[in-house]
Amino acid sequence: MERFSHFVLTDEKGAESLDRAPVVKGEIRLADRGYAHPEAIAKVIKAGGDLVVRAGGKSMTWLNSDGDRMDLIAALREAEPRLSLDRAIFVKRKNCQSLAVRFVAVTKSPEAAEKARRQARRAAHKRNDKRGLLGAVHRAGRRSRCGKSRNCLRSRRATSPVLS
């Protein structure tokens, strides 16, 4: 039998967040990339919780141990022969000390990577998108930044490559 452990009714300005519900010490919260916000992550960790958050390369500012911006794409390419990356890094926070996190990435199987490429190409072809695979991956299944149609020019920036 399933049940709610916490429920909050908000108005249209109250967004979902990792830290909206009280944290139970020792719990592990799972979240998709829309929840990758350093301040909310820090609150959960400070309250004794742990998290597994799927995050895009541009969702947060990733830092190395020296406090310099980390090039995730270069780190992933360097790790490619091992098929995975598992390292301690930091996430930049607003006006606070950086947040120490563990970054884990696993390479997709060749079949899964090819399937993702096919879907991105198909989506680009349907839209007559001339920017290639990178642009197709960015656009596949996303609304524009301005809230208008997917073909809005204000959302035509490619931000996250597919790594395989």
Question: How much of the chain, in percent, has pLDDT values that exceed 70?
Answer: 77
The pLDDT tens digits of the residues spanning 34-54 come to 888 999 999 999 999 999 998
Chain centroid, CA 44 distance in Å? 17
Angle at 26 between CA 25 and CA 31, to 5 degrees: 100
- For the segment 93-98, the average pLDDT, to the nearest whole number, is 89
Q: Is residue 34 part of a domain?
A: yes
Q: What is the domain extent for residue 37?
A: 28-106
Task: From 63, 23, 67, 64, select the one nearest 41 (Cα to Cα).
Answer: 23
**Model confidence, pTM:** 0.65
What's the number of domains the chain is made of? 2
Q: Which residue has the tokens 């310099």?
A: 68
* 51 plus 101 within the same structural domain: yes
Whether residue 157 has pLDDT greater than 70: no
Q: Is residue 44 part of a domain?
A: yes
